[in-house]
Structure formats: C-alpha cells, structure tokens
C-alpha cells in the first residue's frame, strides 16, 4: 500500500536551484501527474524519488520509511522513462522476467508473474519476440511490465510516451491507466502534455521554477485555477485587463475594453486592477451587435479544426481574442471581416490580480 | 513564389519502398502539411523536394522547372531537419543571421532580421547564448528561426515543433502559420500530429506506406474522409461493423451486432453488404434515459458508461451499447462539466446524416486502422 510523503525536498545543480523546498503527499492508489514547463523541476523530483539523484535536503517517505538515502535497487519502485530501454538482445519474456530473476526467482517461478503482466498489456503472443520487432508503443508497454515485475506497487512514469507518435500516445495512456487501476498501483507521472495529465489523473500538480505552485483535480485546475500561470498552462486563455467597478450579490463587475463583464468572484474590491481570463471555448460569438455585457470585434482568421472552428477576433487595435466554437453546437455563418459580438459566461470567467512582474513574464513557459 | 509538382515519384531504400508512385501538387504560397505515422515516407518526401535525396523514378518540378538534377542549394528552398545542427561556436543570433550574411546582406540588416525571427520564436532574451546553453526545444526554435531568416521562398520543415512542450507547441504553431502567410512563402510541413496539421495546413496530405491516402483541406478531410484509415487518423471516430439490411431511396437500414438496427444517410452500399459505420465522437450525443429525444430524427440506443475522460474543452465517455458495441461520445465541457460515473445507464443518439459508411476492408478493420 504505497503512500509517499515528500517534505522540504531541495536539490541544486551548481548555481541552479532545481527543487526548492518541495512538499507533496501522494495517497495510496492515487494517480498523480506533475506538469510544468521545461526546467520547472518535475523531472528532478521524480528522479529523486527513483534514486537517480540524491536530494540536498528533505525527506522522502514511502509507507513511512525514509528512502532518500537508500540505493536504487533497495527502493522497490518501478521506474519508466522516455527513452525505451529494453535489453535489445533479450526476448520480451526475458526482459520482463529480468527483475525477478535478479531477485533469485527461477525462470519457472517467474513464469506465472510474467505471463500475467504480458497478458495485462495484451502482448502474451509476443513473449518470444525481440524488442525491435515491436512498435515503439508496444515496447514502452513492455518497459512498464518490466518495471512492475519486481513486485513494486509504486510506479514512476517519467515522460513515458514522449518518444511516441501522438495517435499511439493517446491510445497508450488510457491502456496504462486502466492497467495501473486494475493492479491498484500508486502512480506518479511526469509529463509536459496537459491533456494527457488531465485525462488520466486523479490529481494534477503544477510546478514552476522548482516549486509546486498549485494542485487539484483536473476539473478544478482547468475550470477554476487559482494561479494565472495555471490558467494559461493548462489550456489556452484570453486575458483582458480591467478594473473592478461594482460588487453585486453574485460577484464583481469588471470594466474592461469599454464593456462590463460579470464574474462570480466575490473577493475583489472596487477599484482593484485585475486580469480577466477566459478560455476560447467559453467565449460565445455571434454576428452583429449585442447587449452591454459583450465585447465587439472584427473577425480575422477562421480555422476549421475538426470538432471546433477557431475564430480570431480583433477587439481593439492590436488586441485579439480567440474563440473556439464546437461544431456540434451548430455551424455558424461567420466569415473573416464580419463584425461580431463576444459573450462570456460569468461562470467561466476567471479573475486574477495583476502579476507583480507583468503578465507576460508571469506566463512565460521557460 | 514557387509551386511544387511531383509526378509519379518512386524511391526505394534496398528492399523498402519509401515512396510508392506518388504524385501531388503544391500551389504557390500554399501551406501544406504532410501527415502520417512513423515510417510513412513523409521525411523522405521532404528530402526529395529539398534535393537531399534523388528519386529512382518520377519528376520533381519547382516553379514548373524540372528540378531532378538541380542541386539542393540551387532549388531556392530551405530545409529545416528534425535533427537541427546549429553552429556550436556561434551565438544564437549569429546562427540565425548566418543565412542573410552568407547571401551578402549587410551585417546590420542581417542582425535585424535575425532579431525579428528570434522575437517571433520568443527567444530574443537568449540572443547572446551559445546553442548548448539552451534546452532542446529552444534549439529547435533557433533552427527554425535560422531557416526562416534565409528568406527562402520554399520552406521545408520536418517536425519543426516536435521537440517542444505541448503548450508551447500550440502557441508557436499559430505563429508559424501567420509568419508563412505574411511573407507569402510556400511551406511544406511534416508532422505526425493531426491536431497540428488541422490547425495550420491549407491542405493536408495523409501518407501511409509511401502513398498519399488523401490530399484535401482540413474541412474535407474531416467531413469526407476517403477511407477508414483517414477517418481514424485525422480526427478519430467510432467504427462499428454492420451489414446493410435494407436500402431505401434516401437512406439505408443497417444491422449492427446482435441485430441492432440503425438508419444511415448512405445509399451507396447494397443490401447484405458488409460495411463499417463511422460516427465522429462529437456527433454521438449522450443523455439521461428519461430524456425525450425525437426518434424520427435520431437513432437512439441504450447503453452504460464504462469510463469517462476529462480532456479540457471536451469530456469523453466510453459507453457500452445494448448490443455490446463500444462507442465514445465527446461533449463540450460547457455542456457537461462533470464526467458521469461508470455504471450509469444512458442513451446515446445520433443523426443518420452524421454517419459515414464504408465497405468492410478486405484486410480487416483493425489492420486497416493500424497506425504502426
């Protein structure tokens, strides 16, 4: 029943602080993803748990046992990383049974376990193949099976799908998620792919510059992110500067771009400078002029993208909003140069304080 | 601005046919994405156009001039490979300004162009760094900036956003598209990412095993895929095996597993023919069993939710239908914020006109759809 408690974890590489006082609890059987831009420390964190890096400070407890100084082979943690690292000269069966064999199992006694794992990843019929005879996706499934064969119930996935084509990758993530669920594993998964993290995780942790800045369920982080960085990182967002002009019983009214926008945030004071954020799919678009709670603009580029149509709308000189309209809501007859009005439901309008160092710096992805 | 025309190109590497009798035309100023799984031949095709490899048979025309024998450097094209090779001893800015300088542009102007390109790639703050001080994603953008700065009229980009984190990749794809549009260059962009191709290509060529499976606008590719493979690879969909039970004048009745009948708009398949019905995931609606749905307009089937996935702007549910078939229904998050729990009974419904019907593939459905 693995449960992980990380406290005060710090790791420096020369002058660079890769991890700064990181605290994180992972619950038993939880599927937890860590996302963040390149260089945020997510890979360093998972490598500290795996035992590849030794932290400078802090503790890592697995089921109450401190492991931060334990050698890798004593940690009983399954670790899978981006580069596929199967033994190329060994058959799939030999690859998966490698761990149990090293632990002293005979080929016969490892057989049942390996069979079960290969069955689980639907590769029983490939037990006698060599790794290179399998596709990249299948090889990575074998890597997961091998990581689990040593009997670990804690699985660390470090960008495991990073080297795969996007289509293969999307299928594989659900397969691995189902497998870890069926086996009752605790999983920590590092990825740069927000959709991947949201679609399979119980909880997502956002890191930036060596720190955890926010965590929550995928829905919480996507719909109600506390940090403006998260709002931008977990999906696209439009940002508008404005000033709070009124408090109502349901929230505050913000004046932005010559119009009044309703929000459901009640914590802001009148006169406060704020930034409104709204995701492109939560902005409605219609031809012509609308009521006062709407923005006006002129359509630029229109892109058909399959399930959605994406509109670029100039709302003022040099300022653009992006709108994504799901086609299943019906097709709109809106074309470039059309005058349109944009609406934002208060429920999906996020509100933030103006970042100290400016918006662009705050949102920087690296 | 150049057009590119490929006529009956054949390229073999030993026993492997990388490009198999392929013809296509790219018009002047167009942005074309070559989309396909690993090993489909898209990089080879790009290198053939660049002049880095020579076809065994067939002709390559650039601007209506036969280019087969024109050396790479005289084709007026810039090729940005996936494995970018920056000059390690030059700064980022010097790397980017290299092309204009080599072309004889004066230094001041070359550096200005270089800075503009770096600005666009969000790398202005790293102009004075050496390449090895940058992350892989940054180096890739420097390579891209260097390619763009040459002001070549034909851009050949091999997975130009491949090394980038997902979020940055989305942001830069729109910038890349805008830049190409503004400068009027002809661009051929290789990618394995169908969302990227759909977001930026004027047209997409889907490659598989060295052949073009379809060459069309994103709209046509999505609305009228010519094959099951294309329907699967571009946009994704539900695929249900069926037999044509009865063909009417304007619609047909199909029988799915266990005798479940549905109505489809297709009338091109004959009675008793084995077919596959394709329904895009966002065209499969889902509702509470008690909800009133007009059965004259929709096929309505009972089912049970097996799993749900939150994808950000969409929520998808995997549903086991009454006849045992599995379908995925994708709904905008706006409509349904919280995924429904596994085990819940629902109805799914879809319009006959939202289905597409194909003959059952001779090689079998799973082999037809296989990506690798």
B204, pLDDT greater than 90: yes
Note whether B85 contacts A: Cβ–Cβ < 8 A: no
Contact B334 A281 (CB under 8 A): yes
- Same domain assignment for residues A29 and A178: yes
**Which of the residue ranges A252-256, B284-288, B337-341 would you say has the lowest mean pLDDT?**
B337-341
- Same domain assignment for residues B73 and B106: yes
What is the model's pLDDT at position A292?
Answer: 58
Burial readout A111-125 (b: 16 or more C-beta within 10 A, e: otherwise): eebbeebbebbebee
Contact A327 B282 (CB under 8 A): yes
Mean pLDDT of B140-169: 89
B84, pLDDT greater than 90: no
**Which of the residue ranges A239-248, B167-176, B269-278 would you say has the lowest mean pLDDT?**
B167-176
Note whether B87 contacts A: Cβ–Cβ < 8 A: no
Residue to substitute from A14, A41, A328, interface B, most B β-carbons within 10 A = A328
Residue to substitute from B165, B169, B221, B353, interface A, most A β-carbons within 10 A = B165
Note whether B283 contacts A: Cβ–Cβ < 8 A: yes
Mean pLDDT of A107-124: 88
Residue to substitute from B92, B283, B333, interface A, most A β-carbons within 10 A = B333
| Closest by Cβ to B332, choosing from A167, A174, A281 | A281
- Same domain assignment for residues A274 and A301: yes
* DSSP per-residue string spanning A291-342: -TTSEEEEEEEEEE-SSEEEEEEEEETTEEEEEEEEGGG------TT-EEEE
Q: How many C-beta atoms lie closer than 10 Å to residue A343's C-beta?
A: 16
ipTM: 0.89
Q: With pLDDT > 70 as the criterion, what percentage of chain A qualifies? A: 99
Which chain A residues contact residue B208 at CB under 8 A? none
Helices (H), chain A: 42-50, 92-102, 107-120, 136-149, 166-183, 194-200, 218-223, 228-233, 359-363
- Same domain assignment for residues A50 and A74: yes
Residue A365 included in any domain: no
CB A68 within 8 A of CB A47: no
> How far out from the chain centre does Cα B234 lie?
6
- Same domain assignment for residues B33 and B151: yes
Which chain A residues contact residue B167 at CB under 8 A? 37, 192, 194, 232-233, 365
pLDDT category at A60 given cuts 50, 70, 90 is very high
The CATH number of the domain where A327 resides is what?
2.40.50.100
- Of A228, A259, A290, the residue at which a domain comes to its end is A228
| Closest by Cβ to B312, choosing from A198, A305, A307 | A198
Q: In what order do the strands lie in the sheet with B285-287?
A: B285-287, B345-350, B299-310, B314-321, B326-332
pLDDT category at B70 given cuts 50, 70, 90 is very high
- Same domain assignment for residues A253 and A275: yes
What is the model's pLDDT at position B171?
Answer: 87
DSSP A167: H
- Same domain assignment for residues B219 and B103: yes
Closest-CA distance, A104 to chain B, in angstroms, reads 37
Kind of pairing, strands B31-35 and B186-191? parallel
**How far is residue A220's CA from residue B157's CA, in Å, rounded to a whole number?**
38
A104, pLDDT greater than 70: yes
**Which of the residue ranges A18-27, B76-85, B185-194 would you say has the lowest mean pLDDT?**
B76-85
Mean pLDDT of B325-349: 93
CB B111 within 8 A of CB B129: no
Which chain A residues contact residue B285 at CB under 8 A? 328
Residue of B nearest to A38 (CA): B165
Q: What are phi and psi of A139, to 5 degrees?
A: -60, -40
Q: What is the 3-state secondary structure (H, E, C) of B113-142?
A: HHHHHHHHCCCHHHCCCCHHHCCHHHHHHH
| Closest by Cβ to B313, choosing from A38, A137, A324 | A324
Pairwise pLDDT comparison (A85 vs A324), residue with the higher score: A324
What is the model's pLDDT at position B163?
Answer: 81
Assigned token pair, B96: 């980017």
Per-chain mean pLDDT for chain A: 92
**Domain carrying residue A200:** 4-228
| Closest by Cβ to B282, choosing from A166, A235, A307 | A307
- Same domain assignment for residues A196 and A241: no
- Same domain assignment for residues A292 and A309: yes
- Of B231, B249, B270, the residue at which a domain comes to its end is B231
- Same domain assignment for residues B112 and B163: yes
Q: How many domains does chain B have?
A: 2
Which chain A residues contact residue B331 at CB under 8 A? 328
A215, pLDDT greater than 90: yes
Residue to substitute from A304, A321, A329, interface B, most B β-carbons within 10 A = A304
**How far is residue B33's CA from residue A353's CA, in Å, rounded to a whole number?**
41
pLDDT category at B137 given cuts 50, 70, 90 is confident
Contact A281 B222 (CB under 8 A): no
- Same domain assignment for residues B66 and B213: yes
- Same domain assignment for residues B25 and B167: yes
What is the model's pLDDT at position B109?
Answer: 93
CB A27 within 8 A of CB A19: no
Q: What are the pLDDT digits (tens) for A204-213?
A: 999 999 999 9
**Which of the residue ranges A41-45, B38-42, B249-253 would you say has the lowest mean pLDDT?**
B38-42
| Closest by Cβ to B371, choosing from A168, A281, A307 | A168
- Of A193, A228, A263, the residue at which a domain comes to its end is A228
A83, pLDDT greater than 90: no
**Which of the residue ranges A20-34, A159-173, B65-79, B86-100 would you say has the lowest mean pLDDT?**
A159-173
Residue of A nearest to B193 (CA): A166
- Same domain assignment for residues B132 and B159: yes
B172, pLDDT greater than 90: no
Kind of pairing, strands B299-310 and B314-321? antiparallel
Closest-CA distance, B176 to chain A, in angstroms, reads 14
* DSSP per-residue string spanning B13-57: ETTEEEEEEEEEEE-TT-EEEEE--TTSSHHHHHHHHHTSS--SE
pLDDT category at A85 given cuts 50, 70, 90 is confident
**How far is residue A200's CA from residue A59's CA, in Å, rounded to a whole number?**
28
CB A297 within 8 A of CB A342: yes
Residue of B nearest to A138 (CA): B372
- Same domain assignment for residues B140 and B259: no
- Same domain assignment for residues A68 and A84: yes
B326, pLDDT greater than 80: yes
User: Rounded to 10 degrees, what is the CA torsion of B356, B360, B363, B367?
Assistant: 40
A66, pLDDT greater than 80: yes
Which chain B residues contact residue A134 at CB under 8 A? none
What is the model's pLDDT at position A81?
Answer: 85
User: Rounded to 10 degrees, what is the CA torsion of A310, A314, A315, A317?
Assistant: 160
- Same domain assignment for residues A192 and A283: no
Residue A360 included in any domain: no
- Same domain assignment for residues A74 and A203: yes
Residue to substitute from A326, A344, A357, interface B, most B β-carbons within 10 A = A326
- Of A204, A228, A252, the residue at which a domain comes to its end is A228
- Of B231, B260, B280, the residue at which a domain comes to its end is B231
- Same domain assignment for residues B130 and B208: yes
**Domain carrying residue B188:** 4-231
Q: What are the pLDDT digits (tens) for B217-264?
A: 999 999 999 999 999 999 999 999 999 999 999 999 999 999 999 999
What is the model's pLDDT at position A101?
Answer: 86
**How far is residue A216's CA from residue A231's CA, in Å, rounded to a whole number?**
13
Contact B218 A306 (CB under 8 A): yes
What is the model's pLDDT at position B188?
Answer: 97
Mean pLDDT of A23-30: 96
Q: In what order do the strands lie in the sheet with A283-287?
A: A283-287, A339-344, A295-304, A308-316, A319-326
Q: How many domains does chain A have?
A: 2
CB A253 within 8 A of CB A245: yes
Which chain B residues contact residue A167 at CB under 8 A? 37, 192, 194, 233, 371
pLDDT category at A293 given cuts 50, 70, 90 is low
Which chain A residues contact residue B234 at CB under 8 A? 306
Within 8 A by CB and 6+ apart from A317, the residues are none
Contact A174 B309 (CB under 8 A): yes
Mean pLDDT of B319-324: 97
Assigned token pair, B286: 């889902």
**How far is residue B80's CA from residue B62's CA, in Å, rounded to a whole number?**
18
Within 8 A by CB and 6+ apart from A129, the residues are A91, A92
- Same domain assignment for residues B38 and B113: yes
**How far is residue B345's CA from residue A5's CA, in Å, rounded to a whole number?**
39
Note whether B367 contacts A: Cβ–Cβ < 8 A: no
Query: Which residues are paired to A57 by β-bridges?
Result: A10
The CATH number of the domain where A113 resides is what?
3.40.50.300
- Same domain assignment for residues B214 and B291: no
- Same domain assignment for residues A204 and A297: no
The CATH number of the domain where B49 resides is what?
3.40.50.300
Q: What are the pLDDT digits (tens) for B41-64?
A: 999 999 999 999 999 999 999 999
pLDDT category at A21 given cuts 50, 70, 90 is very high
What is the model's pLDDT at position A291?
Answer: 64
- Same domain assignment for residues B288 and B314: yes
- Of B231, B259, B293, the residue at which a domain comes to its end is B231
**How far is residue B49's CA from residue A330's CA, in Å, rounded to a whole number?**
41
Residue A43 included in any domain: yes
- Same domain assignment for residues A170 and A291: no
A173, pLDDT greater than 90: yes
Q: With pLDDT > 90 as the criterion, what percentage of chain A qualifies? A: 69
- Same domain assignment for residues A254 and A191: no
**How far is residue B233's CA from residue A110's CA, in Å, rounded to a whole number?**
39
Mean pLDDT of A232-246: 95
Q: What are the pLDDT digits (tens) for B344-366?
A: 999 999 999 999 999 999 999 99
Size of interface A-B (CB pairs under 8 A): 118
Strand ranges for B131-217 from DSSP E? 154-158, 186-191, 203-208, 211-216
Mean pLDDT of B9-20: 95
What is the model's pLDDT at position A290?
Answer: 66
Residue A276 included in any domain: yes
Which chain A residues contact residue B195 at CB under 8 A? 166, 305-306
What is the model's pLDDT at position A199?
Answer: 95
The CATH number of the domain where B286 resides is what?
2.40.50.100
Kind of pairing, strands A252-256 and A78-81? unpaired
Contact A310 B199 (CB under 8 A): yes
Residue A283 included in any domain: yes
């Amino acid at each position: 029943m693995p449960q992980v408690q990380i406290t005060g974890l710090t790791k420096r590489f020369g002058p660079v602080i890769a991890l700064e006082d990181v605290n994180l609890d992972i619950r038993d059987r939880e599927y937890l993803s860590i996302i963040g831009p390149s260089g945020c420390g997510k890979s360093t964190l998972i490598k500290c748990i795996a035992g590849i890096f030794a932290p400078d400070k802090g503790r890592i407890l697995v089921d109450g046992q401190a492991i931060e100084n334990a050698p890798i082979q004593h940690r009983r943690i399954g670790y899978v990383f981006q580069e596929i690292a199967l033994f190329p000269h060994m058959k799939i069966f030999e690859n998966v049974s490698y761990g149990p064999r090293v632990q002293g199992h005979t080929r016969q006694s490892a057989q049942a376990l390996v069979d079960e794992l290969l069955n689980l990843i639907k590769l029983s019929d490939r037990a006698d193949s060599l790794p290179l005879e399998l596709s990249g996706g299948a090889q990575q499934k074998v890597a997961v099976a091998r990581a689990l064969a040593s009997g670990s119930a804690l699985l660390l996935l470090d960008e495991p799908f990073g080297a795969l084509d996007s289509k293969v990758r999307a299928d594989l993530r659900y397969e691995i998620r189902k497998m870890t669920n069926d086996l009752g594993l605790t999983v920590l998964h590092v990825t740069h792919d927000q959709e991947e993290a949201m679609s399979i995780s119980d909880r997502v942790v956002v890191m930036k510059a060596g720190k955890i800045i926010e965590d929550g369920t995928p829905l919480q982080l996507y719909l109600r992110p506390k940090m403006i960085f998260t709002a931008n990182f977990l999906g696209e967002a439009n940002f508008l500067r404005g000033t709070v002009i009124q408090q109502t019983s349901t929230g505050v009214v913000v004046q932005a771009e010559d119009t009044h926008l309703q929000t459901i945030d009640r914590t802001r004071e009148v006169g406060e400078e704020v930034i409104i954020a709204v995701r492109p799919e939560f902005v409605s678009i219609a031809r012509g002029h609308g009521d006062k709670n709407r923005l006006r603009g002129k359509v630029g580029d229109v892109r058909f993208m399959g399930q959605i149509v994406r509109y670029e709308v100039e709302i003022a000189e040099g300022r653009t909003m992006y709108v994504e309209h799901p086609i299943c809501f019906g097709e709109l007859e809106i074309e470039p140069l059309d005058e349109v009005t944009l609406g934002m439901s208060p429920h999906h309008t996020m509100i933030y304080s103006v970042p100290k160092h400016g918006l662009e710096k705050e949102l920087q992805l690296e | 601005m150049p057009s590119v025309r490929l006529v009956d190109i054949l390229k073999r590497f030993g026993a492997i046919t990388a490009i198999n009798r392929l013809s296509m035309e790219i018009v002047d100023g167009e942005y074309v994405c070559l989309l396909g799984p690993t090993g489909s031949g898209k990089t080879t095709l790009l290198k053939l156009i660049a002049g880095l490899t020579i076809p065994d048979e067939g002709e390559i025309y650039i601007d209506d001039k036969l280019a087969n024998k024109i050396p790479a450097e005289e084709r007026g094209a810039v090729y940005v490979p996936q494995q970018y090779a920056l000059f390690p001893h030059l700064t980022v800015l010097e790397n980017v300004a290299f092309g204009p300088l080599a072309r004889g542009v004066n230094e001041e102007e070359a550096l200005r162009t270089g800075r503009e390109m770096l600005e666009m790639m969000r790398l202005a703050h790293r102009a004075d760094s050496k390449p090895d001080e940058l992350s892989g994603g940054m180096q890739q953008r420097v390579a891209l900036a260097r390619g763009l700065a040459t002001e070549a009229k034909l851009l050949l980009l091999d997975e130009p956003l491949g090394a980038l984190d997902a979020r940055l990749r989305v942001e830069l794809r729109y910038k890349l598209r805008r830049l190409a549009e503004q400068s009027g260059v002809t661009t051929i962009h290789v990618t394995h990412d169908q969302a990227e191709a759909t977001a930026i290509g004027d047209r997409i060529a889907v490659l598989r095993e060295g052949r073009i499976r379809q060459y069309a606008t994103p709209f046509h590719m999505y609305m009228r895929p010519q094959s099951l493979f294309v329907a699967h690879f571009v946009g994704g969909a539900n695929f249900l095996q069926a037999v044509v039970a009865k063909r009417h004048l304007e619609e047909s009745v199909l029988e799915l597993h266990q005798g479940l009948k549905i109505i489809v708009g297709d009338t091109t398949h004959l009675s008793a023919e084995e077919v596959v019905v394709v329904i895009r995931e966002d065209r499969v609606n889902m509702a509470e069993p008690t909800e009133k749905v007009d059965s004259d307009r929709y096929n309505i089937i009972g089912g049970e939710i097996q799993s749900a996935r939150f994808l950000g702007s969409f929520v998808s549910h995997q549903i086991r239908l009454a006849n045992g078939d599995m379908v995925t229904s994708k709904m905008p998050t706006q409509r349904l914020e919280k995924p429904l729990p596994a085990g819940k009974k629902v109805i799914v419904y879809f319009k006959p006109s939202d289905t597409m019907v194909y003959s059952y593939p001779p090689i079998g459905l799973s082999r037809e759809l296989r990506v690798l």
